[in-house]
Structures are given as C-alpha cells and as structure tokens.
C-alpha cells in the first residue's frame, strides 16, 4: 500500500477521532460502563466457585450461568462482530466492551509510539474476545447440564480469568494514560463529573488520589488551573460547578491528611 493511500485511510477516521482528548474521554466512558458489568460477572464467578467447591458434581450453578449469559451482551453487543467495524457513541446495541475495543484500537493507531496506549488496546481486545468465547462455553455447559452429562468447567474458569485479568490490566494502563492528560481541562472535567463511578470502579477515592498525584502543589492549584483554562475559552457557566467540586476534593484531601497524622 502506498503512503498516499495510507494518508487517505487516516482521513477517513471518524470525526471524533481527530481529537485525542475527546477519543480518550469516549474510552473512559465505555471503560466505566464495561467495568460495572465485569464487577457483576466477577461476583457471579465467586458464587459459581463457592457452589462447586461445596457441592462438586451436585452443584446447581445453572442460575449463575444464566445471569452471566444475560450480562455478556451488555459487553459484546447483540450484533455480529466485524473486526474494527465503525462504531459510534449512539450505537448502544454494540455493547460497552465492543465500543471500548473500537475506541482503543483507534487511539492506539493515533498514538502508535505510546506504549501504554498500544498495550491498552491489546488487553481490551483480549478481554472482548474472551467475552465472546465465554458465551459459547456457557451455552455448551447449559446443554451438558440439561443432558445430565458431567460438565467440564475448565474452559469456563480460563475465560472468566482472562476476561477479568485483562480488564484489570486495562484499568491500570488507562490510569497511566490518564496521568498524561494532566494539562487537559476537558479530561479533568470528565473526571470530576464521573467521580462517583471512578471511585466505585477502583474501590477507593480514585479521583482525589489521581489529582493529588497529578498536582502535588495541591487542590487549589489544580482548581485555579482548570478554572483559568475554561475562563479563557469562554465557558463561564462551568466555573462555579468546577470550583465547588475542586473545593470539596480539597476538603477531602485535608481531612485525609489529618487522619493520617
């Protein structure tokens, strides 16, 4: 393929892919959606393991398998999957992990020299294909249970482990990429507006901790920086809410410091 053809292909990227910042916000949004489903699947996985350990071959896990099967389309979508097909924010039937895979692929192409972006794409893609295979394995297990044959749970365990482990790896890589956007007020505003979801996914005061890592000068410094950038761009209607959110985080930081003394 000639270099001219390669340039033409790049021009055909979706409009939202022309901005790395906007594309990364799509990644963050779908990551949050996908990880909530992954957390539910991980809980069901623990219940399946517990039931199998207690009752072995007599274990009744069909209800757990059915619940996992219900959650999978929320990740993979309900349509036939085509490699790197066009995906848009409004195509909800595509599934959150499927959309995350697509956005991560585009992001890794635009930042091919960024090792975290490339590795994130690989881990998300692996998680997605594990979820696809998981559906077939569960359907096979349900058939075995219906036929009263001895089920083989090895493939189920392996795919659940791969799905969960690759999403955990993706979460760590997203954190590394996120720190690289410390000077991007749009990404920081996204963090503030989704604080509750981030804290729930990472099971800690994630937004507070990441901002403290980004800005060792303190929350006031971070607040002044974000407010100044939005003021210069002509968004006065955002300034009060940003100031309130950052002030609240500053108070949380002070409280945490007092407790640690």
pLDDT at 232 (0 to 100)? 92
Q: How far is CA 219 from the centre of its chain?
A: 26
Residue 243 placed within a domain: yes
Query: Is 229 a member of any domain?
Result: yes
* 94 touches 87 (CB < 8 A): yes
For residues 69 and 135, state if they share a domain: yes
**pLDDT attached to residue 251:** 86
Please, is 95 exposed, middle or buried when counting C-beta atoms within 10 Å of its C-beta (0-12, 13-18, 19+)? buried
pLDDT digits (tens, 9 = 90+) for 9-62: 444 445 555 589 999 999 999 999 999 999 999 999 999 999 988 887 677 888
Q: Which of 72, 109, 96, 101 is nearest to 84 (CA)?
A: 101
Residue 2 placed within a domain: no
251: in domain: yes
Residue spans of the chain under pLDDT 50: 1-13, 80-85, 87, 89-92, 261
Q: If 0-12 CB within 10 Å is exposed, 13-18 middle and 19+ buried, where does residue 86 land? A: exposed
Q: What is the pLDDT of residue 79?
A: 59
Helices within the chain (DSSP H only): 3-11, 20-55, 62-76, 96-110, 115-146, 154-179, 185-193, 195-202, 206-214, 219-233, 236-260
Q: Is the whole-model pTM more than 0.75?
A: yes
| Domains of the chain: total | 2
| 143 in a structural domain | yes
Domain of residue 249: give its range.
182-261
* Cα-Cα-Cα-Cα dihedral sign, residues 117, 121, 122, 127: positive
Same structural domain for residues 112 and 187?
A: no
Do 206 and 94 fall within a single domain? no
Task: Assign residue 53 a region (left: φ > 0; alpha: ψ between -120 and 50; beta: otherwise).
Answer: alpha
Looking at the fold, whether 151 and 48 belong to one and the same domain comes out as yes
Residue found under tokens 């066009």: 86
């Amino acid at each position: 393929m000639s270099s001219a053809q390669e340039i033409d292909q790049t021009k055909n990227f979706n409009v939202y892919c022309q901005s790395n910042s906007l594309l990364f916000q799509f990644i963050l949004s779908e990551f949050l959606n996908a990880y909530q489903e992954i957390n539910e699947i991980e809980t069901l996985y623990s219940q399946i393991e517990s039931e199998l350990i207690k009752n072995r071959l007599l274990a009744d896990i069909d209800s757990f398998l059915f619940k996992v099967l219900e959650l999978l389309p929320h990740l993979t979508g309900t349509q036939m999957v085509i490699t790197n097909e066009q995906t848009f924010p409004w195509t909800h039937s595509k599934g959150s992990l499927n959309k995350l895979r697509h956005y991560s692929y585009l992001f890794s192409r635009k930042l091919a020299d960024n090792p975290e972006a490339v590795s994130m794409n690989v881990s998300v893609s692996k998680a997605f294909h594990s979820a696809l295979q998981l559906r077939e394995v569960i359907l096979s297990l349900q058939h075995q249970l219906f036929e009263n044959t001895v089920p083989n749970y090895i493939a189920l365990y392996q795919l659940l482990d791969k799905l969960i482990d690759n999403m955990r790896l993706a979460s760590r890589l997203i954190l590394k990429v996120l720190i690289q956007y410390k000077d991007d007020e749009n990404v920081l505003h996204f963090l503030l507006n989704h604080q509750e979801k981030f804290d729930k996914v990472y099971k800690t005061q994630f937004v507070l901790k990441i901002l403290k890592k980004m800005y060792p000068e303190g929350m006031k410094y971070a607040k002044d920086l974000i407010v100044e950038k939005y003021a210069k761009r002509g968004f006065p209607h955002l300034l009060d809410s940003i100031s309130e959110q950052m002030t609240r985080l500053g108070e949380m930081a002070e409280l945490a410091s007092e407790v640690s003394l």
